[in-house]
Structure 1
Amino acid sequence: MTIANRTILYTGAAGGLGLPATLAFLDAGARVVAIDYDPVKVAALNEAAAAAGHDGLTVKALDLSDLAGLRASLDALAAETGGFDIVINNAAIYPSKPFEDYTIEEHQAVQRVNVDAGIVCVQAALPGMRARGFGRIINIASVTLSGGWANLSPYIQSKGALIGLTRAWAREFGAYGVTVNAIAPGAFPTDAEKIHPDPEGYTRFVLDRQAVKRRGSAADIANALMFFASDEAGFITGQTLNVDGGWWMT
């Protein structure tokens, strides 16, 4: 799939699903501007890229909740790199507790990181995409929209918003040669699962609901990202791809 020499802006790029995809993009000859705020994960990403001999990685520790600061930093990065061909809005926070225990400020904080920061990323990238007549925007949604989880209402709300934006942006940006799609990962064994008190019970819960009776791997998400980011996916837009082992069939 053709992504060589493309520049990718990727939030949450050092996470459990992000790091392998970042390395896959680098392997394919793309340049990746990785946005991540976790120093341990960032160090692991830098080490993995260096071990593989990649020099196309730029890592920036930006606070996604500081929208004005994020926009200023992205504008500077766009000027340095010549702009972003591909945006992957992946970073998210996921507090867990009953709905009535959340304050409105906590709802807004989740929306700010999970959705508003993604809007800022697209605002920073779109002028260059429009000028080049090419762009790929990929929003990371979630299987939690299937309704199978309690205590995650701000997170689920944010993922629904990203799917809505995927469709709105696809309609509006298609005339510029820009496609917009979403990927909804299933229940992958990442740090996000640490909120569950019974890991073995949770694994049984997941496998009972999947048609494919294995846990998903980071490569499953990386492959989907590679496709949507590629030239070959140029006639697909406004879609949500469930990469979940057949959990949610819509």
Structure 2
Amino acid sequence: MSTDQFGSLAGKTILYTGAAGGLGLETTLEFLRTGAKVVAIDNDTTKIAALEAAAEGLPGLTVARIDMSDLAGLRSGLEALSEQVGGFDVVINNAAIYPSKPFEDFTIEEIQLIQRINVEAGIVCVQVALPHMKATGRGRIINIASVTFSGGWSELAPYVQSKGALIGLARAWAREFGAHGITVNAISPGAFPTDAEKIHPDLPAYEKRIYEHQAIQRRGSPADIANALMFLASDASSFITGQTINVDGGWVMH
């Protein structure tokens, strides 16, 4: 999809958590190519260095190393960044952790940490961004969910719980914020080849399972997610809100 179709993103400021890892790096670059500004939140030094190197020559990138589990620190850091860049026009809640083990082996503290990073940090991002969006009469909020919410995965219960919460919040926020010109949607990526797949002990068997479930017989690429993100962040999607778009090659169908 041509970036010419996303001209409405030029000059917009995007708050993107987990922007340096997984699918974040490539989608961040695509946003920058549209002329958008990206405030990338991450705390992985190696991945941040890779993002900064890949974005060399592309204007508009601001990288902030923030621990998403420290909600007070996150809020103060985002408030300072918002003042610096003049507010956030788009929020993409993407940062997540995904520990895998039998449900009974999770401590309540581990479950709370997953919810804090995967859900509550996103709530903080939206609360910081909301005043600017309301003032301008336009905003885009995109929560990154997961194909795991459809079922079929074991030993990921707290992660699946967090992704279900993000879908629920997208619907609740869409209803509440719509009067202010703010749309809220979720994207549910399928099984993309990222570091997250390393939690599976038998990767060839896992990839075979993917092809058995997908209608489209290829692995997803960063461009597939980038196109969906850019569409939902742009004016082209201004009449779409409260929805979950599955970008999964036809794994889940409604």
How far did 1:146 drift? 1.1
- Matched residue, 2:40: 34
Identity of aligned residues (%): 71
- Matched residue, 2:55: 49
The aligned runs of 1:123-162 (5 Å cut-off) are: 123-162=127-166
- Matched residue, 1:186: 190
How far did 1:55 drift? 2.0
Is residue 100 of structure 1 aligned with residue 104 of structure 2?
yes
- Matched residue, 2:115: 111
The aligned runs of 1:1-250 (5 Å cut-off) are: 1=6, 2-50=8-56, 53-250=57-254
Deviations 1:182-235 (CA, angstroms, capped at 9, x unpaired)? 000000000000001111111001110000011101110000000000011110
State the number of aligned residues.
248
Deviations 1:65-107 (CA, angstroms, capped at 9, x unpaired)? 0000100000000000000000000000000000110111111
Contact 2:22 2:196 in 1 (8 A): no
Q: Give the alignment's Cα RMSD to 1 decimal.
A: 0.5
3-state DSSP of counterpart to 1:236: coil
For residue 238 of structure 2, what is the amino acid of its counterpart? G
Q: Could you list the structure 1 runs, at least 4 aligned residues long, displaced by more than 6 angstroms after superposition.
A: none
How high is the TM-score relative to the length of structure 1?
0.98
What is the alpha-carbon distance in structure 2 between the residues aligned to residue 236 and residue 55 of structure 1? 29
For structure 1, the residue ranges without an aligned partner over 5 or more in a row are none
Deviations 1:35-75 (CA, angstroms, capped at 9, x unpaired)? 0111111000000000xx11200001100000001000000
What is the alpha-carbon distance in structure 1 between the residues aligned to residue 203 and residue 50 of structure 2? 24
How far did 1:16 drift? 2.0
What is the alpha-carbon distance in structure 2 between the residues aligned to residue 63 and residue 29 of structure 1? 27
3-state DSSP of counterpart to 2:246: strand
What is the alpha-carbon distance in structure 1 between the residues aligned to residue 64 and residue 154 of structure 2? 34
What is the alpha-carbon distance in structure 1 between the residues aligned to residue 101 and residue 225 of structure 2? 27
What is the alpha-carbon distance in structure 1 between the residues aligned to residue 180 and residue 207 of structure 2? 43
For residue 245 of structure 1, what is the amino acid of its counterpart? G
3-state DSSP of counterpart to 2:176: helix
How high is the TM-score relative to the length of structure 2?
0.97
What is the alpha-carbon distance in structure 1 between the residues aligned to residue 134 and residue 54 of structure 2? 33
Deviations 1:96-122 (CA, angstroms, capped at 9, x unpaired)? 000110111111000000000000000
Deviations 1:9-49 (CA, angstroms, capped at 9, x unpaired)? 00000112001110000000000000011111100000000
